[in-house]
């Protein structure tokens, strides 16, 4: 038994910017992104190797969270194309029409929902699979019990895979993002710290607090160490704030979910799914499901 946790916001954006043909509903609405997410999820549900038994999809709706109150530069709704923003509620209806549990996140983010579910149920399933390529989810990976899956690249990362890709163990990922920054989330990082230097220091020390103020005390050789050490010494409070922004919470509310049993996928509810597709003019999708709910 596996638990598949999908970053729905990532899937929505990916579908919107994909080269797939545009899709327009009978009432003139742009529904390309919604149709793309449905298509992607149907492919996942029908994938024999993935063998989906329990599943949830989380969305940022809106794209703001408690982190925006902590740091003004954190990602928000600015720049979201209006035709995409108009589908935030619609795509949640679409996923529910597939018989899949939806987590619509308000004060927390979709990634927080995934982190919470992974922490809560990792001990009850054979494997938790986090379906998103976002670097911050690397912090949730645990051995081969909780893994990160990039469906587009067809790559699966366990704890060793995270270390090979990012240069640090999963538990140091928030510290890494604090130092090097994360453009996707609006975390600036500290000046001078690139991925290579930040990961080298954290390989030696693990977390921000353990890094000595003076480069003369560092046990690892890093290019420009004196300058980097001085920057960190002067900006430790900033670094701690950035780490807080990058740290996923594990106690986010999961709407409609009291236990793992609430995430069991029992098939596509035929009447609901066909009615939804009919309303959006998605005739080709109506023929896609291979397993209907009893």
Closest CA to 195 of 157, 222, 160, 229: 222
* pLDDT tens digits, one per residue of 138-152: 999 999 999 999 999
- Angle formed at CA 62 by CA 61 and CA 67, multiple of 5 degrees: 110
Write out pLDDT tens, residues 4-55: 999 999 999 999 999 999 999 999 999 999 999 999 999 999 999 999 999 9
pLDDT at 130 over 90: yes
Mean pLDDT of 275-292: 92
Would you say residue 237 has pLDDT above 90?
yes
Beta bridge partners of 129: 4, 147
Confidence at 71, pLDDT banded by 50, 70, 90: very high
> Residue 41's closest CA among 211, 281, 273, 248?
273
pLDDT digits (tens, 9 = 90+) for 199-213: 999 999 999 999 999
DSSP E strand stretches across 20-83: 54-60
Distance CA 134, CA 10 (A): 9
Identify the H or E element spanning 113. Answer: helix 110-121
What is the distance between the alpha carbons of residues 281 and 214, in angstroms, rounded to a whole number?
64
Radius of gyration of the chain (CA): 21
- Report the chain's mean pLDDT, rounded to a whole number: 96
Structure tokens that stand for 281 in this block: 């003019």
pLDDT of residue 86: 97
What six digits make up the tokens of 55? Answer: 């599943």
User: Is the distance from CB of 23 to CB of 35 less than 8 angstroms?
Assistant: yes
pLDDT at 249: 97
């Amino acid at each position: 038994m596996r638990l598949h946790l999908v970053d729905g916001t990532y899937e929505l954006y990916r579908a919107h910017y994909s080269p797939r043909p545009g899709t327009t509903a009978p009432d003139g609405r742009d529904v390309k992104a919604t149709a793309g997410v449905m298509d992607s999820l149907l492919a996942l549900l029908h994938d024999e190797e993935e063998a989906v038994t329990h599943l949830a999809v989380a969305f940022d709706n809106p794209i703001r969270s408690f982190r925006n109150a902590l740091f003004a530069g954190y990602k928000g709704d600015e720049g979201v194309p209006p035709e995409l923003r108009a589908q935030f509620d619609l795509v949640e209806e679409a996923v529910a029409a597939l018989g899949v549990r939806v987590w619509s996140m308000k004060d927390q983010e979709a990634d927080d929902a995934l982190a919470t579910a992974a922490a809560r149920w990792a001990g009850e399933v054979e494997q938790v699979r986090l379906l998103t390529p976002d670097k911050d989810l690397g912090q949730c990976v645990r051995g081969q019990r909780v893994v990160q899956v990039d469906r587009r690249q067809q790559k699966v990362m366990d704890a060793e895979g995270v270390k090979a890709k990012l240069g640090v163990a999963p538990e140091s990922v928030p510290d890494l993002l604090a130092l090097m920054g994360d453009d996707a989330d609006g975390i600036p990082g500290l000046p001078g710290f690139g991925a290579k230097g930040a990961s080298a220091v954290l390989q030696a020390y693990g977390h921000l607090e353990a890094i000595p103020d003076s480069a003369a005390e560092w046990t690892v050789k890093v290019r420009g160490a004196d300058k980097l050490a001085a920057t960190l010494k002067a900006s430790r409070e900033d670094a701690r704030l950035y780490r807080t922004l990058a740290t996923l919470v594990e106690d986010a509310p999961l709407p409609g979910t009291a236990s793992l049993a609430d995430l069991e996928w029992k098939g596509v509810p035929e009447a609901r799914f066909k009615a939804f597709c009919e309303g959006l003019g998605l005739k080709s999708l109506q023929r896609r499901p291979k397993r209907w709910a009893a």
